[in-house]
Amino acid sequence: MLNVKMAVNGMLVKADDVIIPQFSKLLDADPYLSNHQRELKRRYGCFEQILASIEQDEGGLDAFTQGYISHGLHRTADGGVRCKEWAPGAEAVYIKGEFNGWSGTEYPLQNTGFGKWEITLPSKSDGTSPIPHNSIVRLGIKTKSGEIVDRNLAWASYAVQDPKTMLYQSVFWDPPQDQVYSSKNPKPQWTGQGLRIYEAHVGISSWEGKVASYDHFTDNVLPRIKGQGYNAIQLMAVMEHAFYASFGYQVTTFFAPSSRCGNPEALKRLVDTAHGMGIYVFLDVVHSHAANNTLDGLNKFDGTDSCYFHAGTRGHHMLWDSRLFDYNNWEVLRFLLSNLRWWVDEFNFDGFRFDGVSSMIYHHHGIGTGFSGDYSDYFGLAVDTEALTYLTLANHMLHKLFPGIVTIAEEVSGMPALCRPIEEGGYGFDFRLAMAIPDKWIKLLKETQDEDWNIGDIVWTLINRRHGERTIAYAESHDQALVGDKTIAFWLMDKEMYTNMSVLSPQTDVIDRGMALHKCIRLITHALGGEAWLNFIGNEFGHPEWLDFPRPGNNNSYHYARRQWNLVDDDVLRYRFLNSFDRAMNHLDEKFDWLASPQAYISWKHEEDKVIAFERARLLFIFNFHCSKSFPDYKVGVDLPGKYKMVLNSDCSEFGGHNRLDPSAIHFTSKDGYGGRMNSLQVYIPSRVCIVLALEDDIVKHGL
């Protein structure tokens, strides 16, 4: 790490002398960390060291993370255009484009030191810009060998595909003021309430076989999301990526929204419209790696193997065929931190899901490694301190400058303290994804009949999370929808989804079982699995088939790269029942906010009966996963006494059920304690049904 000095209590001291805060809260939450205090302090010291250097040498974190103001292409006050890029390995740099007929060496940039190259083009004689808005601009980089190679601007805010070469080219996005989208709605502030996140990909959001636009999503999909009761959207594949089938994970232009879906102003409108609906919008940000593309990406930007990335094998991801950032490089930190800031400042995003965190924080990137939970995995030499320091800096910057912002880690290893405050010795994320839960459901559906499901194992998977670290639960996400796997609905019903989903034909055993388990799996994951819930676009109504983007392997077909809204909108088809249950589930959480409540108390998990019962947010949840047995007068323990009524019932005809339960029935508690609870009540719980009971007073209070 950088060898710097820092101020502590007003005194300038060496980094080795810094007094590291005690981690008592962290150790109280996880006593196993006691054996690793020294390493925790070392990591915290690395973060403090970099932060102090930013304060000392860059004028503070606020200035350092606004690199996009000085870098890239910008209009000057007198109508000219200034260009600034970082290319430390270049011998010379030139700017060219449509504005000068692609003349290669007409406009050389000046080397201003530290690998920075700059030029200011004066305005034309009539006062207009020398580079027109929406025109293509590229750099000519003279390498050490004397060759001049074409490169996109690293800080470009827009890129479009050349229909002849199919390469993406950087564009000077400088619209006149009357074409700049201006936000109309206040930005919602997250205050810690439960999040119901709708994971979405704009390009696949139309039922037609094409790339859908930001405007299409704004006008047609946002109302659906709002109606379903979601309060957050996680947008995938927004950062520009040349290969559509990469699902946005091979980023080529980090500051540019994908032009295949529209221009930057259309994306601003999408985010602002969501805000007007009270919906947060999160960006799936890929800082774990970058596309290997040279002609339209960052690879070999200055003609060397390094620049933004590690040189040699450390700079290449062997499985993803992509480049790996050098998080210890000062200009890489400026680039990545400014990139996060850009998406908030320019587009008003409310948070980020950081992709591939496990790949970032381990030198082995998780390749060939099975994480057992042994703490030696988390505190050994395999951990990449530089990447951890970057993530800590990113979380610190975002939460300091934008209170209420949300950060989410896609992290599979279970790194302790990932979602603990930085001042406690954590890394500052707000949530982590519960990646073991969808794996468990898919494994059960692939390998085991539901009559053989281990109820205790299911419950343990749902509650097995780090105390004091928020978790996002999900039964399936885009990972399970991609070709090579199947969605839960498809695993359950693929044999008959094409022929037996009509209400005009009798319901078969396969469809009956599939719809019943689809509802039970989603509700128990929603209510028991974490402090937030995530659903992938279309899965709320049991979207059939898989997700596959146009590519040579499927003859560039869009057939599986779309969402078939026509299925859920057709009253003759049963998809609408699953959609209605998803909506009711979310709206019930909106009333009772169980996601923001403490973890549930599980009073019952019976292997033979296949029944699970637990309480959370003053609600009583009961699940019967048995394939054939229904139980009349089933006794369940409950803590709070009183009169209980059903507020959700998966067997209701509105949800495609058999209407075996009386929704008006009142369940009186008895002082006969049961299942470790002070009171008990009795219910009728049919096979493959889940119900939720609430106290009558709470029902009135919440207006149900």
Is 430 contained in some domain?
no
Residue found under tokens 């998080």: 327
Contacts made by residues 116-119, CB under 8 angstroms, sequence distance 24+ = 116/84, 116/85, 116/86, 117/84, 117/85, 117/86, 117/87, 117/90, 117/93, 118/82, 118/83, 118/84, 119/82, 119/83, 119/95
Count up the domains in the chain and report the number: 3
Please report the pLDDT score of residue 14 as a whole number: 36
> What's this model's pTM, rounded to 2 decimal places?
0.95
Please report the pLDDT score of residue 82 as a whole number: 98
Please report the pLDDT score of residue 369 as a whole number: 86
Domain containing 675 — which CATH number? 2.60.40.1180
Is 559 contained in some domain?
yes
In which region does residue 541 sit, left (phi positive, over 0), alpha (psi from -120 to 50) or beta (all else)?
alpha
What DSSP element (H or E) covers 255? strand 251-257
Among 216, 219, 271, 207, smallest CA distance to 566 is for 207
Q: Is the pLDDT of residue 538 over 90?
A: yes
Please report the pLDDT score of residue 486 as a whole number: 85
pLDDT digits (tens, 9 = 90+) for 633-686: 999 999 999 999 999 999 999 999 999 999 999 999 999 999 999 999 999 999
Q: Is the pLDDT of residue 184 over 70?
A: yes
- 410 catalytic residue (yes or no): yes
| Residue 617 and residue 692 in one domain | yes
Is 500 contained in some domain?
yes
Q: Cα dist. 325→108, 364, 528 in Å?
A: 28, 14, 37
Q: Is the pLDDT of residue 21 over 70?
A: no
| Residue 609 and residue 571 in one domain | no
| Residue 605 and residue 498 in one domain | no
Last residue of one domain, picked from the residues 598, 620, 649: 598
Please report the pLDDT score of residue 12 as a whole number: 34
| Residue 630 and residue 571 in one domain | no
- Among residues of the chain, what percentage have pLDDT more than 70? 97
Three-state secondary-structure class, residue 370: coil
Q: What's the maximum distance between 2 C-alpha atoms anywhere in the chain?
A: 91
**Annotated catalytic residue: which of 272, 302, 331, 410?**
410
Please report the pLDDT score of residue 373 as a whole number: 85
pLDDT digits (tens, 9 = 90+) for 69-97: 999 999 999 999 999 999 999 999 999 99
Amino acid, res. 36: H
- Going 444 to 448 to 451 to 456, the CA torsion angle's sign is negative
Q: What's the length of the chain?
A: 704
**DSSP string for residues in 639-693:** SS-SEEEEEEETTSGGGT----S-TT-EEE-BS--BTTBSEEEEEEE-TTEEEEE
Among 577, 572, 571, smallest CA distance to 542 is for 577
Q: How far apart (Å, rounded) are the C-alpha atoms in residues 665 and 278?
A: 35
Please report the pLDDT score of residue 484 as a whole number: 67
pLDDT digits (tens, 9 = 90+) for 258-290: 999 999 999 999 999 999 999 999 999 999 999
| Residue 696 and residue 629 in one domain | yes
Q: Is the pLDDT of residue 54 over 80?
A: yes
Q: Is the pLDDT of residue 53 over 80?
A: yes
Among 452, 460, 401, 403, smallest CA distance to 436 is for 460
| Residue 440 and residue 572 in one domain | yes
Please report the pLDDT score of residue 464 as a whole number: 95
Which of 147-161, 195-209, 486-500, 584-598 is predicted least confidently? 486-500
What DSSP element (H or E) covers 632? strand 631-638
- At 22, the pLDDT band (50, 70, 90 cuts) reads low
Please report the pLDDT score of residue 58 as a whole number: 97
Q: How far apart (Å, rounded) are the C-alpha atoms in residues 685 and 625?
A: 10
Is 643 contained in some domain?
yes
Is 401 contained in some domain?
no
| Residue 609 and residue 588 in one domain | no
Q: What's the DSSP call for residue 218?
A: I
Q: How far apart (Å, rounded) are the C-alpha atoms in residues 693 and 620?
A: 5
| Residue 559 and residue 571 in one domain | yes
| Residue 610 and residue 565 in one domain | no
Q: How far apart (Å, rounded) are the C-alpha atoms in residues 220 and 478?
A: 20
Q: How far apart (Å, rounded) are the C-alpha atoms in residues 490 and 496?
A: 9
pLDDT digits (tens, 9 = 90+) for 516-528: 999 999 999 999 9
Among 71, 52, 153, 59, smallest CA distance to 338 is for 71
The mean pLDDT value for 10-38 works out to 67
Q: Which residue has the higher pLDDT, 152 or 189?
A: 152
Please report the pLDDT score of residue 371 as a whole number: 86
The mean pLDDT value for 224-233 works out to 98
Last residue of one domain, picked from the residues 64, 81, 100: 64
Q: How high is the mean pLDDT of the chain?
A: 94
- At 324, the pLDDT band (50, 70, 90 cuts) reads very high
- 423 catalytic residue (yes or no): no
With contact defined as beta carbons under 8 Å apart, do 395 and 435 qualify?
Answer: no
- Among residues of the chain, what percentage have pLDDT more than 90? 91
- Going 299 to 303 to 308 to 313, the CA torsion angle's sign is positive
Is 365 contained in some domain?
no
The mean pLDDT value for 162-176 works out to 96
Is 670 contained in some domain?
yes
| Residue 489 and residue 624 in one domain | no
| Residue 608 and residue 693 in one domain | yes
What DSSP element (H or E) covers 48? helix 37-58
Is 335 contained in some domain?
no
| Residue 628 and residue 493 in one domain | no
Name the residue range of residue 10's domain. 5-64
**Annotated catalytic residue: which of 48, 296, 355, 386?**
355
Last residue of one domain, picked from the residues 20, 37, 64: 64
The mean pLDDT value for 231-239 works out to 98
48, with CB counted inside 10 A (0-12, 13-18, 19+), is buried
